[in-house]
Chains A and B, each alone.
Chain A
Amino acid sequence: MANRYRYSSRLLVVAIAVVFVAIGLAGVASQNKPQIVLAEAPLVEKGQLPNNAACLSCHMVEGQVKEFPNGDLISVVIAPETYGLSAHATLSCQVCHTNISGYPHPENLAQSSRDYTLQYQNTCNQCHPSQATELLDSVHSKIMAEGNLNAPICADCHNPHEQPKIKKDEQGRLTAVEHAQSAMVCGQCHSTIYEDYAKSVHGTGVLVDKNPDVPSCIDCHGVHSVRGPIGGAAFRLSSPKICADCHTNEEIMSKYGLSTQVLQTYIADFHGTTVTLFEKLDPDQQINMPVCYDCHGVHDIRRADDPEKGLQVKQNLLITCQKCHPDATENFPDAWLSHYIPDRNRYPLVYWVNEFYKYFIPTVLGGMGLFVVSDIYRRWVVDRRKKNSIPAETVVESQKETQDSDSLQDQQEIKSVEEENQITDEKRQDEENS
């Protein structure tokens, strides 16, 4: 009997797990800043000046050059004063120039000055192994391995005869002057980028204001394990984290009145969502969704209110959008909330739609829930209690049924309903066929 079935086996326990609301920023992995490990004990004891006089007697003479078969000339002059101030003042020449002893010097097969420099590629490793290891991960080592001989080795950035000990403050941060100096070192080979950078809000902060809060090249690209967009999309996809390192730091940003919501609002948007997902799932995939620097500029980042390039200027923003959306018209840039969280005054439409649903969803679901709870109460509490208080219910019901069937009138009615029903069924059959 359907009735019996209905009242006896109704212990349905259905667990519906609404799991979609599990939100959680999977921790934005903090960046490992490469540490500069100071040289382990140099090969000669500190304080004991080596006898470099033999070499210097010739090499201190001004104007000496070495010529290579390809016509390159390099200066082979060492100024004793500069060398004496360098970090290597306590080293004898042969610590590095291991192949040169006595005169005439052994023949060197280098065809060009670059060949000659590269002969010293691994020389620094003997005293600076940790930096050498960091360097292995760098784009410079990568392109070097690909055969690009312009890729720098240690000596290209740190002139071994002149490089003084790098000055740092108590926290181990570069002093302001060193910080600025570091950008200039990169500028030796990346001069066009350096020029862009020097004009940028970061560049002026570092080079002019000597402000250590502002990033120099190495703060974004790393010191020895230099990262860059070369060879794969990984750098690009993870680059928002680099910017976010400072731009979500309340301590730094509050000094300049800058918002720390920039990352959060970026990730909430279509572009940021996509980039973040690719970064997590497919970090080497080249994708065209913008990262911070696609809109704000790579090295020529300007203040947001810069009349020429600042993105607060609507025309500049439109031009920026059009880089990827060439058909974009005047209204289009407003589709991007410019890192703001909408409020009554800024993007009010978005704000009010949000507000509407904040009340609409609980109202609708609450209404539904209320009814459902009342229905559960009726069926599982009231009806069950009734059933328990009248254990003979089924008997009563079957009796009633018998009584019902006894009634001739009722039987006739059933018949007519059956006929009706048949007609209805036929009708539907007809529908289905049609």
Chain B
Amino acid sequence: MSENQKTYTRFSLAERIEHIVLIASFTTLAVTGLVQKFAQSSISISIIAALGGIEITRIIHRAAAIVFLVQAIYHLVAIGYKLYVQRKEASMLPGFKDLQDAFQHFLYNLGLRKERPKMDRYNFVEKAEYWAMVWGLVLMALTGFMMWNPIATARILPGQAIPAAKVAHGAEAILAVLAIFIWHFYHVHLRTFNKSMFTGKLSRHEMEEEHALELEKIEKGLLPPPPSPEELKRRKRIYYPVAAVLSLILLFFVYRFVTYEQTAITTIPPVSAQSENVFVPQTPTPLPTRPPTPTSIPTPAGQSFEGPLSWNNGIGQILVQRCGSCHGAMGGLALNSYETAMKGGRSGAVIVAGDSEASRLVTTVRDGNHPGKFEPQELELIIRWIQEGAQE
């Protein structure tokens, strides 16, 4: 077997599954979060629409956050197992050497150094990413809690902590996503496609380039020997209950986190204007009172007539003024001239000379069957005129 074909196990199956869950929750959080941050952009709107609306988008975001938190708890427990039970080196802890490595690697890139720095199991690239993730998780969880539970937050902190948390949450999201694009994608996808997170293995060449120090330790047998089975068993007996209690406590915190209050998801309906009765008419339209007041048209009623009554002496004047506007040029009975008045309407004469009781001109109006009325005095004159022969 050639050296170059030799592989070095880097990630256990559990770690690889953890990473896949992380990809899923992180991506979900990023997509559903960024569309909320840039909610007015048309792309965001189409994504939100595709997800089923803003409320569902928010619920998905929260669900992914819960997955993220639970995974963080699992990760803590797993680290505890490695450090306590397996007594492995805390190889992810950052140190001065990482700064040095980064600087030296930079100089190497610029051609100012001949060799790449030799790096351990986790090099500065990976540590930077890991600790950025930890920092991001803590900050996102804290600010996320504040936005998820604003009322509880405002009991302890000033109110403006909530919009400040929103600013930090959004800015941190941008930072995290862009860092993944720039740092993570470059180092494990572009520069070289590092498949170890899926296959679990690194080639010797990859080890040489990125973890030369670890390779050296492996080759020189400098790694601490694995603990004996008895020792492992003893430690597990101690660690499992501790880890169980710790995870339960942390899970309880997560549970409280997500159920503490519902304000940000559901609020009670606002007092709606619709519940008011909008139709409240003002005081009713003023109406005239009954009985109608007498006409205000000046009439010749009060005039005295000299000589015998005739159409030309008084009566014509009354009839034209009182009746002419309807019983004039409109057809039918026309009371605007002596001839037509005597002729009557379609149903015959209305004036019977000498018999006022047979004259419908008198009876219809007197009995109140007509909208227009005569003044009593006028009616008297008309009756007298008919009795006297209805002269022209």
A354 near B218 with CB under 8 A, answer: no
Q: Does B312 contact A (CB under 8 A)?
A: no
Nearest Cβ distance between residue B285 and chain A, in whole angstroms?
8
Select from chain B the residue with minimum beta-carbon distance to A275.
Answer: B54
Contact A75 B150 (CB under 8 A): no
| Residue picked from A23, A102, A286, A335, most chain B C-beta under 10 Å | A335
CA separation between A420 and B222, bound complex, in Å?
A: 10
How far is it, in angstroms, between the C-alpha of A336 and the C-alpha of B328 when the chains are bound? 78
CB distance B219 to A413 under 8 Å? yes
Known A-B contacts A189-B280, A230-B274, A347-B163; A74 and B287 likewise in contact (beta carbons under 8 Å): yes
Residues in A9-31 with C-beta less than 8 Å from chain B: 12, 14, 16, 18-26
Q: Using an 8 Å CB-CB cutoff, how does the interface string of A83-113 with B read, 1 for contact, 0 for none?
A: 0000000000000000000111000000000
Whether A361 contacts B174 by the Cβ 8 Å rule is yes
Cβ of B138 under 8 Å from chain A: no
Q: A329 near B330 (CB under 8 angstroms)?
A: no
Interface check A418, CB cutoff 8 A = yes
**CB-based contact B49/A281 at 8 Å:** yes
Shortest C-beta distance, A207 to chain B (Å), equals: 15
**Interface of chain A, helix or strand or loop or mixed?**
helix
Q: Are B168 and A288 in contact (CB under 8 A)?
A: no
Question: How far is B285's CA from A74's CA once the two chains are assembled, in angstroms?
Answer: 9
User: A14-B189, A188-B281, A365-B175 given as contacts; is B154 within 8 A of A349 (CB)?
Assistant: no
Q: Quick check: B167 and A354 within 8 Å, CB to CB?
A: yes
B-side contacts of A269, CB under 8 Å: 163
Q: Which residue of B lies closest to A1 (CB)?
A: B4
Q: Tell me whether A81 is interfacial, beta carbon within 8 Å.
A: no
- B296 close to A62 (CB less than 8 A): yes
The distance in angstroms between the C-alpha atoms of A188 and B232, with both chains bound, is 88
Is the Cβ of B175 less than 8 Å from the Cβ of A274?
A: no
Given contacts A294-B270, A349-B158, contact A190 B205 (CB under 8 A): no
Task: For B45, give its contact among A26, A325, A350, A374 (CB under 8 Å).
Answer: A26
Interface string of B363-392 (1 = CB under 8 A from A): 000000011100000000000000000000
Q: Chain B residue with minimal CB distance to A420?
A: B218
In the bound assembly, the distance between CA atoms of A77 and B177 in angstroms comes to: 78
Residues of B within 8 A of A369 (CB): 182
Contact between chains at B182 and A368 (CB < 8 Å): yes
User: In the complex, are the beta carbons of A337 and B163 less than 8 A apart?
Assistant: yes
Q: Is the CB of A2 within 8 A of B205?
A: yes
Q: Are A61 and B292 in contact (CB under 8 A)?
A: yes
Given A273-B39, A281-B48, A424-B223, CB of A103 within 8 Å of CB of B326: yes
Q: Which residues of B contact A18 (CB under 8 A)?
A: 177-178, 181
Size of chain A's interface in residues, with CB distance under 8 A? 114
CB atoms of A229 and B39 under 8 A apart: no
Residue of A nearest to B165 (CB): A353
Q: What chain B residues lie within 8 Å of A61 (beta carbons)?
A: 292, 295-297
> Which one of B268, B289, B330 lies within 8 Å of A288 (CB-CB)?
B268
Interface string of B270-300 (1 = CB under 8 A from A): 1111101111111001011111110111000
- Given the complex of chains A and B, what is the CA–CA distance between A58 and B371 in angstroms? 7
Question: Given known contacts A327-B261, A377-B109, is B40 in contact with A26 (CB within 8 Å)?
Answer: yes
Closest Cβ of chain A: how far from B31's Cβ, in Å? Answer: 9
CB pair B167 A357 closer than 8 Å: yes
Complex CA gap A111/B209 in Å reads 98
Task: Indicate if B157 sits at the interface (CB-CB under 8 A).
Answer: yes
B100, CB-defined interface residue at 8 Å = no
* A417 and B267 contacting across the interface, CB-CB below 8 Å: no
Task: Give complex CA distance A269, B221 in Å.
Answer: 59
Are B372 and A190 in contact, CB atoms less than 8 angstroms apart? no
Q: Let me know if A22 and B38 touch, CB within 8 A.
A: yes
Stretch of A125-133, A208-216, A253-261, A426-434 on the interface side: A426-434
Pairwise interchain contact A335-B296, C-beta atoms closer than 8 A: no
Q: A2-B4, A61-B292 are in contact. Are A353 and B167 (CB under 8 A)?
A: yes
The yes or no answer to A160 lying at the interface (CB within 8 A) is no
- C-alpha spacing A65/B40, complex, angstroms: 61
Chain B residues near A (Cβ < 8 Å):
1, 3-4, 6, 8-9, 12-14, 34-45, 48-49, 53-54, 86, 102, 105-106, 108-111, 128, 132, 150-151, 153-155, 157-164, 166-168, 171-172, 174-175, 177-179, 181-183, 185-186, 189-192, 203, 205, 218-219, 221, 223, 226, 232, 236, 261, 263-264, 266-274, 276-282, 285, 287-293, 295-297, 325-326, 328, 330, 332, 370-372
Q: List 16 A-B contacts (CB under 8 A).
A: A23-B40, A63-B293, A64-B292, A75-B288, A193-B280, A277-B54, A280-B45, A288-B267, A289-B267, A331-B155, A331-B159, A357-B172, A360-B171, A371-B105, A379-B191, A428-B9
Other A-B pairs beyond A187-B282, A420-B221, A424-B218, 14, CB < 8 Å: A65-B290, A192-B277, A276-B39, A324-B267, A332-B159, A336-B159, A337-B160, A353-B167, A353-B168, A368-B183, A369-B182, A416-B221, A417-B219, A424-B8
Q: What is the interface of chain A, defined by CB distance below 8 A to chain B?
A: 1-3, 6, 12, 14, 16, 18-26, 53-54, 56-58, 61-65, 73-75, 77, 102-104, 150, 187-193, 228-230, 267, 269-270, 273-274, 276-278, 280-282, 286, 288-290, 293-294, 298, 323-329, 331-337, 342, 347, 349-350, 353-354, 357, 360-361, 364-365, 368-372, 374-375, 377-379, 382, 413-414, 416-418, 420-421, 423-425, 427-428, 430-432, 434
